[in-house]
Structure 1
Amino acid sequence: MVDLEHVIEAVSELNQLTHKDTHNNMDLNSEGPDPPLEETYKNLFLKQQSFITTLAANTVEEHELPVVDLRRLVAASKEEREKCKQEMVEASKDWGFFQVLNHGISQDILKEMSKEQVKVFREPFNKKKGDKCMNISLSPGSYRWGTPSATCLMQLAWSEAFHIPLTDISDDCSSPNNDINGHITGLSSTVKQFATTVSELAHKLANILAEKLGHDQSTFFAENCLPNTCYLRMNRYPPCPNYSQVFGLMPHTDSDFLTLLYQDQVGGLQLVKDGKWIAVKPNPEALIVNIGDLFQLQAWSNGVYKSVEHRVVANQKVERFSMAYFLCPSYDAVIQSYKQPSMYRKFSFGEYRQQVQDDVRKLGYKIGLSRFLVCS
């Protein structure tokens, strides 16, 4: 099983060197918006011409995720409020995913974010890879594309993304003087609005799920999930001529507490339910919530909530956009179960992150929480 963020961190130096060499030696679509995925990874396709299994063409049934209407959290009836919370709990146990309606993020913000996201990905590739595409002081390496460490097609992500820590969304990001064309400034202002509202929602949902576990941790997320470790990720999945051979995003679980996702109507997100892959039916009114490693098998819930493997399949003709918010603790935050005996020993998020990176470097894949199981 792959964890994308830790794979990226574990091979970040390799990625930078590999992509740097590729771009120095070839004039690959330098003026166009698309990353040179096909040309860069042509050797993988040549090496695996006999790769018969089709990844995207397999029959996968489409399902709608459990729906929770958050308007009921402010209902006059306590019984109705508790019923709403319990629906989240049941979905987290059975699916590891659910979707929320009336979530407090206006459709205007979501539509504007989607519109501006398209604009920024239309910028020239060379501008994007220089982290100079938004009116935000992006950290080096914020723009990511492909999987430079891939040794086979199964490890290749046919996508590009901006990984934006909340600390990069500065207070002066809406200054009108930094872009004479205006639309980049519009994006950064919209990013700030979206980040503020989605962060508040993530904290609210995390507190509810922790409360229903019996955690007396009313200040844990506010004190430990800080802007330097929580982040937004804007994703674009370009059309893929070899869509049956690669993923848009490889199968993985998330190494956070919660992920909140807003996707377009193209579809492509799939997850494992009862041992089978199913396709998630898009809902334009909803945000998708999924449980991460730290909440699931997760040490906090001692195996009650599920951190479910999920992926994005590639599309031959249509590009796909999504944006995600990841609720992550500070590196020194201690993760432990709410009840004893615990399946897992206590550990810090930094320790967990380092172990995943070490496993990826040595083994090529993530082992995850089983490293922290209490020995019998």
Structure 2
Amino acid sequence: MDDTIEPPFQETYPTLFDNISEKEGDESWLRMDDVEYCELPLVDLSLLSSNSEHLDKCIKEMAEAASEWGFFQVVNHGIPQKVLKNMRYEQNKLFHQPFSKKAEESFMNFSANSYRWGNPSATSLRQFSWSEAFHIPLTDISRLDECSRTRSSVGLSATKAGSLAERLAEYLAHNLGVKSSYFRENCLPSSSYLRMNRYPPCPLSFEVYGLIPHTDSDFLTVLYQDQVGGLQLRKDGRWLSVRPNPQVLIINIGDLFQALSNGVYKSIEHRVVAQSEVERYSAGYFYCPSDEAVIESLSKPAVYRKFSFDEYRQQVQKDVRATGDKVGLSRFLL
């Protein structure tokens, strides 16, 4: 049996990779490495346990970052480094299984289509991601059949990230005047998911993305990444690189929070640059509502029409199948 761990990107999508230079030309989107670094706003979450003055200051910092950047970093977030490192160790073990094993439907007792790689909808390299991921609904974690250590490490990380996401969402929503019970009522643990990512070394790192430009279809994302780097975000029409720091967590606003806030908080386009010689790991907790949850702009006049999360996801999937690209919130403008 073939024991290579790498997905067969070029063999599976030969029409995308044949004669790259002739088909893609010298387009600016390929120049992803020559991008300046930015310093994301850094928020000390220990202030949330302080007196009202420091608490208000901390909430204000998060709200300003969510409005101006759509991204911020947090320290003293309550998830011990040991928990994150244990998850990273188990993540490495999963991805270093042979590709043929990872691609089996019964692998680790995950749900069907949990293991994802490349982009079956891509019609050009611009739409292709040189990466692989385990997209894990939280209800799947208890079913992991590898060993109790994998279950406990991944499960503990997801549980703590979920608590953090709920806490931050409630503070950000309180700043907008949303009742505190909104997220507890609409975002049950069973509706969120963990996505563990691996970006293999890419021999065509100047021609292909690690992860294509996109926004997240959730309320907010809690991201843990290693020291390799590659995350970039688009601000004021320019791409900026995020300096890697495994000691912090990165929080970014998703489409649903932008709609709920009536455009006050920004869901910012971001991407990952492929690396030529090293692999990169990250793990994201995506804080999502149940399918029937209704997203409605808080203030008037509303920018977006009212929609359910299920309606939003179906529209995104329809657009991706038809064009290879996500259209997103612009579909729901009034």
The TM-score bracket by the shorter chain reads over 0.9
Structure 2 partner of 1:193: 156
Structure 1 partner of 2:82: 108
SS of the residue 2:194 aligns to: strand
Matched, 1:63 2:38: yes
Q: Do the aligned residues in 2 keep the contact of 1:254 with 1:307 (CA within 8 Å)?
A: yes
Distance in structure 2 (CA, Å) of the matches to 1:132 and 1:109: 27
TM-score (norm 1): 0.84
Distance in structure 2 (CA, Å) of the matches to 1:355 and 1:44: 26
Matched, 1:212 2:175: yes
Deviation at 1:361, TM superposition (A): 2.8
How large is the Cα RMSD of the aligned pairs? 1.6
Distance in structure 2 (CA, Å) of the matches to 1:281 and 1:260: 16
Instruction: In structure 1, give the amino acid aligned to 2:77.
Output: H
Structure 2 partner of 1:284: 246
Structure 1 partner of 2:282: 322
SS of the residue 2:282 aligns to: strand
Instruction: In structure 2, give the amino acid aligned to 1:225.
Output: C
Q: Do the aligned residues in 2 keep the contact of 1:160 with 1:236 (CA within 8 Å)?
A: yes
Structure 1 partner of 2:4: 32
SS of the residue 1:345 aligns to: coil
Deviations 1:309-363 (A, max 9, x none): 0000100001000000001111110111111221122111111112222222333
Matched, 1:271 2:243: no
SS of the residue 1:251 aligns to: strand
Identical positions, percent: 59
Deviation at 1:275, TM superposition (A): 1.1
Distance in structure 2 (CA, Å) of the matches to 1:158 and 1:68: 32
SS of the residue 1:250 aligns to: strand
Deviation at 1:57, TM superposition (A): 4.9
Q: Do the aligned residues in 2 keep the contact of 1:72 with 1:84 (CA within 8 Å)?
A: yes
Structure 1 alignment gaps of length 5 or more: 1-28
Instruction: In structure 2, give the amino acid aligned to 1:156.
Output: F
Deviation at 1:56, TM superposition (A): 4.7
The within-5 A match list for 1:242-253 is 242-253=204-215
Distance in structure 1 (CA, Å) of the matches to 2:226 and 2:253: 21
Distance in structure 2 (CA, Å) of the matches to 1:131 and 1:266: 30
Q: Do the aligned residues in 2 keep the contact of 1:153 with 1:246 (CA within 8 Å)?
A: yes
Instruction: In structure 1, give the amino acid aligned to 2:270.
Output: H
Instruction: In structure 2, give the amino acid aligned to 1:45.
Output: F
Choose from 183, 189, 194 the match for 1:221: 183
Structure 2 partner of 1:309: 269
The within-5 A match list for 1:105-254 is 105-134=79-108, 137-170=109-142, 173=144, 179=146, 184-216=147-179, 218-254=180-216
SS of the residue 1:285 aligns to: coil
Deviation at 1:263, TM superposition (A): 0.2
How many residue pairs are counted as aligned between the two chains?
331
Distance in structure 2 (CA, Å) of the matches to 1:204 and 1:293: 18
Distance in structure 1 (CA, Å) of the matches to 2:282 and 2:121: 24
Q: Do the aligned residues in 1 keep the contact of 2:162 with 2:189 (CA within 8 Å)?
A: no
Deviation at 1:370, TM superposition (A): 2.0
Choose from 355, 359, 363 the match for 2:315: 355
SS of the residue 2:175 aligns to: helix
SS of the residue 1:283 aligns to: coil
Matched, 1:256 2:211: no
Matched, 1:74 2:49: yes
Deviation at 1:85, TM superposition (A): 0.6
Instruction: In structure 1, give the amino acid aligned to 2:170.
Output: N
Q: Do the aligned residues in 1 keep the contact of 2:215 with 2:254 (CA within 8 Å)?
A: yes
SS of the residue 2:263 aligns to: coil
Structure 1 partner of 2:73: 99
Q: Do the aligned residues in 2 keep the contact of 1:33 with 1:122 (CA within 8 Å)?
A: yes
SS of the residue 1:82 aligns to: helix
Deviation at 1:149, TM superposition (A): 2.1
SS of the residue 1:353 aligns to: helix
TM-score (norm 2): 0.95
The within-5 A match list for 1:4-43 is 30-43=2-15
Distance in structure 1 (CA, Å) of the matches to 2:318 and 2:63: 33
- Range 342-351 or range 314-323, more displaced: 342-351
Q: Name the CA shift for 1:37/1:185 in 2 (closer, same or farther; >3 Å).
A: farther
Deviation at 1:38, TM superposition (A): 2.5
